[in-house]
Structure 1
Amino acid sequence: MSDYREFSSAELTEQARQLSGAASHLHTMAIRRKESRLAAREQAMDITGQAQSPDGLVRAVVDVGGMLTDLEIAPEALGLRADHLARVISSVTQEAAGRARAEVRSLYQPLIEEGLVGDLPVLLPGSLPKASATASPPPVDADEDEASFEETFSLRRTER
């Protein structure tokens, strides 16, 4: 036995008004989410990290992904043993990459807290997903040319 109830015109109008309001809210949130992701993406791509050795003889600059973009070695550092200089360069570069990662986290944290993005982008060294050697990239959909930076370069959060 079915329990059908007839709705009055006023009830249907009120339900339609509520649904329209909910749809408008969802649309506004989707636009805000997209705009926030795009703005964060643009800002993130300009992030660099810089560090120098305590004695100031080695200075490194890395891009947002931690790739070395500039290395300055003072002439005095060339007198160091090669293995020591290599350790200093490595240490300074890692510190610069850590600073770039911290800036990315700082940029995205408010967006994560607001629920506008789900994860940090995978610009951080060591966090690229493993891909099969035989896997081919998915086809590009013309409507998705503007796929979000986070959707393209993010990992699922893991419980800590």
Structure 2
Amino acid sequence: MAERDLHTGDLELDRIMAEFRANSREFSETIDRVGEVVGQAESPDGKVKVRVSSSGQLTALRIDPRAMRLGSEELADTIMDLSRRATEDAARQLMEVTRPYLEGDERGESRRR
């Protein structure tokens, strides 16, 4: 659906409405980018790979058959460590995406509302 510019005749109200529409579009784009965040980590030898969503939920786990030689405890520790690292990767990416909304300006206020 095409967006139309509505004009009220009140310059200040029209300015506020235009700013609101621009902020709404920008916020929507940011939400889309948040949904696209994927955290990843892999073992140094590349035999175990983990992928998590922006919320840190495990979405993929790849275990090369050669990694089974590690033994169950070492393999479990590797998976847990990679899950933590992938979650940290996702959190770092989320901070990059949302930073403009979280940083304060020179007056200590949020730059965006």
| Matched position secondary structure for 2:87 | helix
Alpha-carbon RMSD across the aligned residues, in angstroms, is: 1.7
Superimposed CA distance per residue, residues 34-91 of structure 1 (whole angstroms, 9 cap, x where no aligned partner): 1111111111111111110122221001111111111111112111121111111011
* TM norm structure 1: 0.56
Amino acid at match of 1:116: R
Contact 1:36–1:111, Cα closer than 8 Å, also in 2 = no
Structure 1 match to 2:111:
115
Q: Which amino acid aligns with 1:100?
A: A
TM-score by length of 2: 0.76
The answer to whether structure 1 residue 64 and structure 2 residue 54 are counterparts is: yes
Tell me, in whole angstroms, the C-alpha distance in 1 between the residues paired with 2:41 and 2:84.
Answer: 9
Larger Rg: 1
- SS of the equivalent of 2:60 reads strand
What's 2:85 paired with? 95
**2:66 is equivalent to residue 76 of structure 1:** yes
Secondary structure of the residue aligned to 1:59 is strand
More helix as a share of residues: 2
- Aligned with 2:51: secondary structure? strand
Q: Does the 8 A contact of 1:62 with 1:97 survive in 2?
A: yes
How many residue pairs are counted as aligned between the two chains?
Answer: 98
Gaps of 5+ in 1: 1-19, 118-160
